Amino acid sequence: MFWSKDTGFLNQFKVDDVNQSVVYKAISQYPQCINDISFWLPENGEFSSNDFYDLVRSVGGDLVEQVSLIDSFSHPKSGKTSHCYRIIYRHMNKTLTQAEANAIHSRIASTVTKLGATLR
């Protein structure tokens, strides 16, 4: 597994202190489905990435394996800021189809407006 490129496995070993104990958590043998979502942040500046992570987990539940900010962009003319997040979906007991992942992703996209964000 150490030669794997599976982020579900590799991210378990990312620690701040090399002397820190790592507790291995079993990962699914089934493949990941990866989707990105981009949106403009609210102009009032009231946005927390943690709120977005909580929203993703509440909508996607156990099918969400990882959520990470992969890009932040500030438009030079409008001054608006955009975030792009990568969401990795995976089922523990079966192969998750891209259509199933897309359905969850669509529900996340439709609820991101509750945070005051605007989809790109």
Tens of pLDDT along 81-118? 999 999 999 998 899 999 999 999 999 999 999 999 99
Hey, where are the domains in the chain? Answer: 28-119
Q: What's the sign of the alpha-carbon dihedral 37, 102, 9, 20?
A: positive
CATH of 28-119, one of 3.20.20.70, 3.40.50.300, 3.30.70.380, 3.40.1010.10: 3.30.70.380
E strand map for 1-120: 33-40, 64-74, 81-89, 118-119
111's enclosing H/E stretch is helix 98-111
Q: How many CA atoms lie within 13 A of 116 on its CB side?
A: 11
Amino acid at 32: Q
- Classified as helix, coil or strand, 41 is coil
Tens of pLDDT along 10-50? 666 777 777 878 776 767 678 889 999 999 999 887 888 99
Q: What's the sign of the alpha-carbon dihedral 100, 51, 85, 22?
A: negative
pTM assigned to the model:
0.79
Residues 67, 43: Cα–Cα separation, whole Å: 23
Residues 116, 120: Cα–Cα separation, whole Å: 13
